[in-house]
Structure 1
Amino acid sequence: MVDESRHSTVFRYGDALAANRRRAGLRAQLEQGRAFRLRRGVYAATSNQVDRAAAAVLKVSGAVVSHETAAQWWGISQLSQPGEEVRVTRPRRGSGRAHYPGLEVHSAALPGAHVTSYCGMPVTTPARTVIDLARGAEFRAGVCAADSALRRNLCTREDLWSVVADCAGWPGVRRAREVVGFADRRAANPLESISRVAFQEYGLPTPQLQVEMPSFDVVDFLWEQFGVVGEADGLGKYVDSEVLRREKLRQERLEQDGFAVFRWTWREVFRRPDAVAYRGEQVLRRRGWSR
């Protein structure tokens, strides 16, 4: 539980008037999500996300920071940039959500093993955070979060399976189960995570990830049986001509060693994953793969 006395952002209505704040100004703060009404006559100013989260936990009885807000705190990668809205979960049977200015409140069971403390506030564990995201988002967004949490050693696959078991029968848990089964800590970043999903959904054979080559550094994807290398080029990878030259030489050496190389960018796989997977299919077919 968050102790409101520890937060200087908490103020009383009378204090606001004494400080020459007008009713209209306070009302505007409330409507814009820059302040929350904790209870009659008591408010909390919210100048940053930590303040907003603290105010939300104070406002909603039993609430814990969760979903996208918890993911930001844990450093779990998300496919899309989360907004300013704070997300919390309150312990109730069933499911549902309520909206307030700057705040989204989810309702769901909160077993003790799913809750921990961060910055002095109750927050869902990394494993529960991943499963909450996976239940409510598209498959590739869930994979992005799960790969990230595993890669950063925030939780184990067993932790994720344990939360899935606790959430049996909840909305979206079937998708979350698929996410956990597909997650791979070897994916180095969200670009590689969504690329994996594109290949899987298009029916391509499963590649090896982050493979150290004998005479090169690590390649992103390798279909060793067919001698095919896949390289996911992130935004900003080619920052100058020297970097571009090194990448060109690297690809030439791979091709001289008999590998076929195909590349794609974040923009391509995010917007047209089918087109990227189709290019991969053509390269694999030329190397002897067939469905």
Structure 2
Amino acid sequence: MLDDLLRQHDGVITLAQALECGLSHSAISRRVQSGHWRRYAHGVYFVDDRPFSTAALIRAAVWSYGPRAAASGLAAAWWHGILGREPDVVEVTVPRNSNGRKHPRSTVRRRDLQPVDIVEHNGLRVTALALTVVEAAVRRGGGARVMDTGLQRHPELPVLWRAHLRNRGRYGSPRARMLLQGAGEGTRSAAERLFARLMKSAAITGWTANHPIGDYVVDFAFAGSKVAIEIDGLAFHTGPDEFQNDRVRQNRISLLGWTVLRFTWQDLIEDPERVIAEVRRAISA
């Protein structure tokens, strides 16, 4: 029973779980003293006969804050399989009235979540997928790509909106609203409006929208310097046929002597300074 539990829980075990498996306090102490078990936090141990994996880190961090804690943010995104890299720190959400100090490689958010926004996944309490997508998208290292991945694989946009509205006032809520608006119908036109605002705020002139080039119409063009700008929405709106057609279109425009720059909604939201710098460089070349 103990071996099965450790295998299912990535080598992490709590004091309560060990006692339920029939170990005594003294047996647990002997394992810690011998170095076979390593104490991560009070009442949370890692069996040091295997690598301390990302899953072990997240599980240990969440369990160290007690039974009402849940992984959230990028940690929850990793747990749900919509974030490919290990989060730098494990974000844990606990009820507002929780006590206790911060533990290693973790950050705590204190707020009361509704039951619909918490699930148990692989034996760990985590924020439900919809709330995870909305929150992780506004964390550093998350971004529109996390929302895009979540929408490609799992919940529909109205489900994300409901999770967002249930949790208004949280950290990153205004930016999440912008991403959700960009992910809705008309994503491309919303991105185009945002690009136009960036150009105006940077005092970059000489461009026209919906400019014809050969048999095509590009989103923006600097005719004097022959620079064409194409704006993409989130990837989940683009099927394989549209992706292929876009590449054929771009090649033909380039063969007509134009420089083509492509920017995504994610570029415009997360890195507008780079977008402006690349446009300036292209039109002054």
Please confirm whether the aligned pair reaches a TM-score higher than 0.5, indicating the same fold: yes
1:37-79 deviation line (CA, Å, top 9, x unaligned): 242xx6334711212222233222211121111112333358x
Q: Secondary structure at the match of 1:104?
A: strand
Question: Partner letter of residue 46 of structure 2?
Answer: A
Counterpart position of 1:169: 169
Instruction: Tell me if the contact between 1:63 and 1:89 (Cα under 8 Å) persists in the aligned partners.
Output: yes
The one-letter code sitting in structure 1 at the alignment partner of 2:180 is: V
How high is the sequence identity, in percent, across the aligned residues?
A: 20
Residues 115-170 of structure 1, C-alpha deviations (whole Å, 9 max, x = no match): 223222222122211222345559xx5433222322x2322211121112111233
| Letter paired with 1:103 | S
Q: Deviations over 1:245-290 (max 9, x none)?
A: xxx997553346x694513699x9957222134468x59xxxxxxx
**Contact 1:65 1:123 (8 Å CA) reproduced:** yes
- 1:92 is aligned, of 72, 92, 96, to 96
The one-letter code matched in structure 1 to 2:146 is A
Residue 273 of structure 1 corresponds to 275
Whether contact under 8 Å (1:230, 1:263) holds in the other structure is yes
**Equivalent in 77, 82, 88 of residue 76 of structure 1:** 82
| Aligned residues: CA RMSD | 4.9
> Structure 2 length as normaliser, TM-score?
0.58
| 1:245 aligned partner | none
Is contact 2:78-2:87 (8 Å) kept? Answer: no
Q: Which amino acid aligns with 1:91?
A: P
Judged with a 3 Å threshold, the aligned counterparts in structure 2 of structure 1 residues 186 and 123 are, in CA distance, closer, same or farther, namely: farther
Inter-CA distance 56–252: structure 2 relative to 1 (3 Å threshold): closer
* Amino acid in the other structure paired with 1:161: W
In 2, the alpha carbon distance for the partners of 1:48 and 1:186 equals 41
Partner in structure 1 of residue 30 of structure 2: 14
SS in 2 for 1:100: coil
Q: Distance in 2 between matches of 1:75 and 1:200?
A: 35
Aligned partner of 2:157 in structure 1 is 157
Unaligned runs of 5+ in 2: 19-27, 201-206, 233-246
Query: Do 2:41 and 2:64's aligned partners in 1 also have CA atoms closer than 8 Å?
Result: yes
- Residue deviations 1:166-224 (CA, integer Å, cap 9, x gap): 1123343222222211226999xxxx9xx98983661589x99xxxxx99xxxxx9528
The 2-side partners of 1:148 and 1:163 are apart by: 17
Task: Give unpaired runs (5+ residues) of structure 1.
Answer: 30-34, 209-213, 216-220, 233-247, 284-291
- In the other structure, the counterpart of 2:260 is 262
Residue matched to 2:148: 147
User: How far is the alpha carbon of 1:105 from its aligned partner?
Assistant: 2.5
Q: Is the 8 A contact 1:142 1:176 kept in 2?
A: no
In 1, the alpha carbon distance for the partners of 2:100 and 2:140 equals 15
How far apart, CA to CA, are the structure 1 residues paired with 2:109 and 2:136?
A: 12
Whole-Å Cα distance in 2 between the matches of residues 43 and 179 of structure 1? 39
Name the residue aligned to 1:55: 60
Distance 1:262 1:198, change over 3 A: farther
Q: Distance in 2 between matches of 1:179 and 1:90?
A: 26
Q: CA deviation at 1:86?
A: 2.4
Letter in 2 for 1:89: T
For residue 121 of structure 2, what is the aligned residue in structure 1? 118
Give the corresponding residue for 1:43: 45
